[in-house]
Amino acid sequence: MNTLNVADDYIRAVGGGHSTSAIILGRSGTGKSFRTIKVLQEEGLSLSTTGEEKDKCFGYISGHCTPLQFYNEMYKHKESRVVVIDDVDSLFASKVGLGLLRELTWSNTGSRIASYRSSTKHLQAPSSFEVNSGFILIANKLLRNATVDSIRSRSLVCEFNPTNAELTADFIKVAEKSEFKGLSREERLETACFLSEKSSVATIDFNFRTLIKSWQLMKYAKEKGKEWKPLVSSLLVEDEEMATVKALMDSNWPVSEQIKEYSKLTGKGRRTFYRIMKKIKQRL
């Protein structure tokens, strides 16, 4: 199943009020945040700012905050149609943060009550307030415990693992629509296509951050009168073991012979071979 399509449908379900919450999980740099915002905007919602009709907006909160900071921010967005909570991993690691997230996802429909008991002067919201928003939680990975599992059970959960081909297709879309000071649309597209052509499933840390770094290097090269391609190529470092396994997979040898050759080359066994093979197949 195409996890990109599933993620899009889950985001739309929350944006349209059909579901209270969705959790989008996946390795860092795969465009989870970009995709979430893009789909919500396609659904006719705009990023919340003062003076707009909240029901036509979505709020955005970074999860890199304390539970108190999160509670204060949540109060500001309590009337938004949807609230996107990005990098929510740290809130899931906090007992108080987990409690807040559980309150916000408690009901499948209708309003919920968020509450925070504290005498600190930093509390900028009432001790409790009503929330009708839908929530989209974005994380790299979630720990498993009873409270986390209760939040997962109430939410649409998508394990977002795009293939390299899907990633590079998104690179092209971002290059076409995003601005980057000092580079034209054609130059942005040229670097995105170059990354697509020169990368492989064995490329380490191949993600949206690679695209941004490639634009930074292209801009630098332009300003210094240098050739940009060698600089951008330096970003595409291969995992040697993964490259070895991929070459063996392409050999058409029986798997048993691939494992023997892998063990001869690396001194490692079948368990490691299968683990790397699984990782490669997820990217194909």
Residue in 60, 125, 129, 136 with CA at minimum distance from that of residue 101: 136
Place of tokens 């989209």: 136
β-bridge mates for residue 60, sequence order: 84
Position 56 scores a pLDDT of 86
Position 109 scores a pLDDT of 62
Give the mean pLDDT of 113-132: 87
Q: Residue 122 pLDDT more than 70?
A: yes
Task: Convert the pLDDT of each residue in 69-119 to its tens digit.
Answer: 999 999 988 889 999 999 888 888 889 999 999 999 886 666 889 999 887
Q: Which residues does 194 contact at the CB level (< 8 Å), separation at least 6? A: 214, 229, 232
